[in-house]
Chain A
Amino acid sequence: MAKNDHLNKLLRQEEDLPDYLKWNNVENNIQSRLQQLDARTEEDEDSDNRIIVFLIPFLLVAGILLCAIWYRQINDKDGPAQVSNAISRDQGVADYKHNQISESDATESTYVFNYSEYVKDYNESKSVISYTDTETDTKQSLSDIANESLYSKAITSINAKSYHASDNERKGSRTDVNNENKRAEKTLDSANNNLINQVARIERNNISVIGAGYDFTDYLTLGTIALSPQPAEVGSGIALTLSADMNYIQPQINSINTDRKSISHTGQINYGATASIIYNLNDNWSVTAGISVQDYVSRFDYQNQWDTDGSYVRTVPGRNIYTGEVLQFLREGKLVTMTKRNLIHYNKYRSVSIPLAISRNLTTGKYRLSAGVGVRYNLILDAQGKFNSAAGMDSLEDVFELESVDYLDHSGSLDPMASLHVNRRLGSKMFIGLGINATFSSANWTNDPSQEMRPTLWQSSVVLGYRL
């Protein structure tokens, strides 16, 4: 409808003021009101200055913190981006061997056997390093033993590691090297390597099992996006916001996998970005929708334990049927070794989410506090895992492998979310804000029915907004 100039002119005809509106009757009130307005402006300016004094150091500290985290992220030897560096921190082959030996409770002793001693120590088995031939009284190595019949050889003494038979179902030691016999050391080392290879195979099998969708899936933490309702400027209308986000995943795992010990699963700070649109229903309520892309990273540590069968040589007392003399005969025995290995998984997820939230706003001056609740549709775009796999058991190369995993649950889920934000107007159109929000996954992210992971996703955001 067009402006009606005729009516405008008619209604805007000036006329004499009534007496109560003469300058003398209103001056004091106008001056008083003017002073109030001036004082309020000064307060606002002081407030602005205080905010700037506060905001600048805050932004500086936040910037330094972000840079430090970013720097650490790309330089962290344990970080998912540092595959090659991570090798040096990994339990490689050397550490693995060392741990196996050092974890042994074996002690090296020299035993001179006779029947009575054997009886007394019947529950103690021996793992032979070398022995002294009773006939020739010469020390023989295991390689020599291997060439002879173990069942017919009588010995008077051996250098051996001992272990307790009572524990040999679960605990024991593999034969250690004997400094007195280098050839035996080589033989045993070879045997150790065989065991290690066996272990590696076992480990590979384990990992393949993991890869099939059990453990690895459980501990890979699928990220969802925390997109927050960013309250707009005071007043109604539509606002667009962009936010730089720091996210943190809080894995919540209910595991019934008893094979793994010392489990710890922690999130790592990572980054994302969010774009959203806000529609202010009125001064008190607003609706937010948007899209967000986030990368989440988590670290999962656990200790794997497994038993390994190995061969060893033990002594068995016997009597010379011709002379009646008690002799010690060599026998091949079976050794059960428990081996521990620490495994580290780094899990990285890229996800996109679409949030829809309604917020209650409280506006004071240039600030607006918003508390919102809503739902978020999360979809995992990509999930990668990296771990110190068994491939590194035989070689120092590729200890860490970055592998795309296809056994993660890529389907979307609709999750509840909550948020809290503080915004400040910068002008008639712009505003900045800080916020935090949490998304509670309602879906089990693992494919494994025996395990559940419903993580909580935290996200802090620095928001820049523009009101249309």
Chain B
Amino acid sequence: MISVETINRCITRERTALRETYEACAPYVYSIIKSYIYDEHLRKDAMQESFANIFHSIERFDPNRGSFKSWIAKITVNQSISLLRSRGKLKLFVPIEGAHEELGYNEESIEEMSREEIENLLQEMPTGYRAIFLLNIIEGYNHTEISDMLNITKETSRSQLSRSLRWIRNNLVQKANTYFYG
């Protein structure tokens, strides 16, 4: 994505290096932010906040512990979640005992969907469901990591994921019915 030399120049805050890094990474960062945030103003804030934090802590990046891409992805996800929380847009429901049984969603039907269709599906999904779904299914965080990131319990994380999967399944069935029956 970017060279070690560019990273070192970023540490010294060389303006051209910051620009190079931004231009190289911004499309990827933006793709992450788009999944979590649907408001343009918030997206801009999230982009700026994410890159400010990337540049601020770039000297702590250790290539031995992972790729630069996954490192900036983690920062971006954290900043997006943090922004949603600070703006009161991330509302999680209290878990209900027994309501978090693992529900499968129809992966085949989702994999047949286009990116636009998936984005539309995610946009319709309640914010709390979407965040957990993205963190678990898309980013691959486990419930312990999600509970730390969102400052919730693992039970809540499981419950939210279960609800989000149920929501997707119901939504897909509804869409299929609409398509089938008109």
Contact = CB atoms under 8 A, between A and B. Distances in A.
Interface of A: 1, 3-4, 6-8, 10-18, 20-21, 23, 26-27, 29-30, 33-34, 36-38, 41, 235-236, 282-283
Contact of A26 (B44, B140, B148, B152): B44
B138 interface: yes
B140 A11 contact: no
Interface residues of B, number: 43
B92 interface: no
A18 B43 CA distance: 11
Interface SS majority for chain A: helix
Contacts of A41: 56
Contacts of A23: 19, 22-23, 26
A3 B137 contact: yes
B53 A37 contact: yes
A37 B52 contact: yes
Contact of B32 (A6, A12, A282): A12
10 contacts: A1-B102, A3-B137, A4-B110, A14-B27, A15-B30, A23-B26, A26-B44, A26-B51, A27-B18, A36-B52
A7 B111 CA distance: 7
A287 B18 CA distance: 46
B27 A26 contact: no
Interface string B82-107: 00000000000000000000100001
Given A20-B40, A26-B47, A11 B31 contact: yes
Interface of B: 13, 18-19, 22-23, 26-28, 30-32, 34-35, 40, 43-44, 47-49, 51-53, 55-56, 102, 107, 110-111, 115, 118-119, 136-140, 147-148, 151-153, 161, 165
8 pairs of A and B residues whose beta carbons are closest in the complex: A3-B140, A14-B27, A33-B52, A37-B56, A29-B48, A34-B52, A10-B115, A4-B137
A21 B26 contact: yes
Contact of A33 (B19, B40, B48, B165): B48
Contacts of B139: 3, 8
A34 B137 CA distance: 32
A20 B44 contact: yes
Given A27-B19, A34-B56, A13 B115 contact: yes
A18 B40 CA distance: 10
A194 to B, nearest CB: 80
Contact of A11 (B51, B138, B152): B138
Contacts of B19: 23, 27
A4 B26 CA distance: 23
Nearest to A35: B52
Contacts of A3: 136-140
A418 B32 CA distance: 48
Nearest to A5: B140
A17 B56 contact: no
Contacts of B115: 10-11, 13
A8 B137 CA distance: 8
Contact of A17 (B26, B119, B147): B26
